[in-house]
A and B are shown apart, each in its own frame.
Chain A
Amino acid sequence: MSTYSLSDGLPSAAPRELALAGWLKESGSGVVASLAWIAFGLSCLLWDDVGDWSRTHSLGIAAFIIAAFALFGTVGADYLGSAGRALRKRAPWLLALGLILTLWEVATAKFAWLPLPFFPPPQAIIEIYTDDLPKLLDSVFASVRLQLGGYVIGAAVGFVTGVSIGWSRVVGYWVHPVLRFIGPLPATAWLPIAFFTFPSSWSASTFLIALATGFPVTVLTWSGVASVSNAYYDVARTLGAKPSFLVLKVAIPAALPHVFVGLFMGLGASFAVLVVAEMIGVKAGLGWYLQWAQGWAAYANMYAALIVMSLLCSGAITLLFAIRDRLLVWQKGTVKW
């Protein structure tokens, strides 16, 4: 009998507790996150700034708005579809960000625990984005244009060279030693020579970015083509494939996973060259903006530019991953970025 009463009692009490626990688990972090952002807003508004910043008030208001979004977004996630689910998943991060910003605000703008010109408060950086936007945007466009041009040229040349070395003995004989001699040299070492041999600093930088991209793409494309199993060629040849088919439809698709490794490595290397080239030669772009800000001891501008730069680099990598995932759907177990 006792078992009966036990199982009778369960359904009435447990589901309510379960529902509460479930609600807490799903929305709890959202609620706490919104509290953290309220704290950030309050930290902006409660005390006076130690310096002269014009966006403190707006930043505080913005923090409250974000807090409201976090709260209603996670609590009402069920009615918001995939956006709600995405928000809920990121609530812990939202919480961490709110806490860090609060700490940063208090440690810089309010009590100056961190030495001031070197550690600007959040509102100082916001101020750059609102007041220095045209110059920053110009720099972004200049950087993207330079990077894109150099990278595309380098990747294309590297790919074609890699396939040719992997496929043709003659090309391999002539190109391989050159590649071994020049490839490992950091592209930035060419900077001084490139800047006076090329007609413009822009073309010099494009060349250097292409060089930095081209080397890893060439080597990995080549090793990819060279490592294609002979069995594939045998199968294709008995089915009537001509040499062009073997290159385009067998060697290249088989080498593609390697090619993408080269493209990723090239992207990283070319970012470094881009920034250095902009700092030294090209009078435009985010690298130049950084340099300029340093000259004026404008630390807020530097942080603002760094944030934009990291968003752009990360965006470029994300884009490359998306392209790879599209082209290599046939691979199983690839890394998600």
Chain B
Amino acid sequence: MVATAEIIAYPAAGAALDIEQVSHAFDIDGTELPVLSDVSIAVEPGEFVALLGPSGCGKSTLLRLVAGLEKPRAGSLREDESRITHPHPSRVVVFQDPTLFPWRTVWDNVALGLEAQGILKSQRSRVDAALELVGLSAFRNAYPHQLSGGMAQRVALARALVNDPKILILDEPLGKLDSLTRITMQAELVSLWQRKGFTTLLVTHDAEEALVLANRVIVFSERPARVKADIRVDRPHPRHRGDPYLADLRRQILGLLGLDATW
């Protein structure tokens, strides 16, 4: 557990995130497809925010804007008062597909960020620590095709965490995992977030997952996405899945998503 202590020794408190009146659209064959419509969300440092919405409404697009991979057509995004214009390792994304680089070993995949920033030589121990954190030290020399889906997603998580992000952006990272692995990784995610204090933005299609993990659940409308509801989840971690308070919120959220309330 020395390794875990070491990673904590780099304090990476979360950053505030301000999404202000953001609208975005794509051009498809000359016609404009509006995807985000006047979205404003203010996220406090260290908050865990879950984003829920119908499939194809624009959640991933919003995350790409937060990451700086694309620029919004209107509105602005700020990380701690500075405008987001480009990707930066203080905001790291974990995508639904682990997207590991198949020609790199697990260790080299995790080392990618530090290598790209030119600080790998002096900080190799951070890679070891991140691998330890997700429990994959034994697989450091394996290639991605030798890993199971859950392990690959863990590597992707380690690859993000090794950069000590101020904002961790998760785009349905557990979507493809089996339910057991999913529950384990949800618990790991919460404990990581509690220990390290980064701000978390999680897109999920699972209302229960959102409620078990987040402080705040934001529900989007159909495309173009607008904020439909902003719900606080006032329950300490670890949360109990059968908690009637959460069940009540869940019913409310599913209702907002247009699903029968008897679910």
Tell me whether B92 and A238 are in contact (CB under 8 A): yes
CB of A335 closer than 8 Å to a CB of B = no
B88 to A, closest residue via Cβ: A240
Tell me whether B99 and A231 are in contact (CB under 8 A): yes
Tell me whether A239 and B113 are in contact (CB under 8 A): yes
Residues of A within 8 A of B112 (CB): 235-236, 239, 241
Which of B6-14, B101-109, B225-233 forms contacts with chain A? B101-109
Closest CB-CB distance, A63 to chain B, in whole Å? 48
Residue-wise, chain B 92-118 has the 8 Å CB interface mask toward A (1 for contact) of 110101010111110000001101110
Q: Which of B143, B144, B163 is A240 in contact with, Cβ under 8 Å?
A: B163
Q: Which of B93, B102, B103, B115 is A234 in contact with, Cβ under 8 Å?
A: B93
Residues of B within 8 A of A141 (CB): none
CB of B69 closer than 8 Å to a CB of A = yes
Tell me whether B92 and A239 are in contact (CB under 8 A): yes
Tell me whether B116 and A240 are in contact (CB under 8 A): yes
B92 to A, closest residue via Cβ: A238
Interface residues of A in 189-241 (CB under 8 A from B): 229, 231-232, 234-241
Tell me whether A239 and B116 are in contact (CB under 8 A): yes
Tell me whether A253 and B163 are in contact (CB under 8 A): no
Residues of A within 8 A of B103 (CB): 253-254, 256, 328, 330
Interface size on B, residues (CB 8 A): 28
Residues of B within 8 A of A229 (CB): 99
| Contacts A231-B95, A235-B99 given; does A240 touch B117 at CB 8 Å | yes
Closest CB-CB distance, B66 to chain A, in whole Å? 10
Among A239, A256, A331, A332, the one with the most B-chain Cβ atoms within 10 Å of its Cβ is A239
Residues of A within 8 A of B159 (CB): 239
Among A231, A235, A237, A242, the one with the most B-chain Cβ atoms within 10 Å of its Cβ is A235
Residues of A within 8 A of B99 (CB): 229, 231-232, 234-235
Binding site for A on B (CB under 8 A): 64, 67-69, 87-89, 91-93, 95, 97, 99, 101-105, 112-113, 115-117, 143-145, 159, 163
Listed by A's residue number, 11 A-B pairs whose Cβ atoms lie within 8 Å are A231-B99, A234-B93, A238-B69, A238-B89, A239-B117, A245-B116, A328-B103, A329-B143, A330-B105, A330-B143, A331-B102
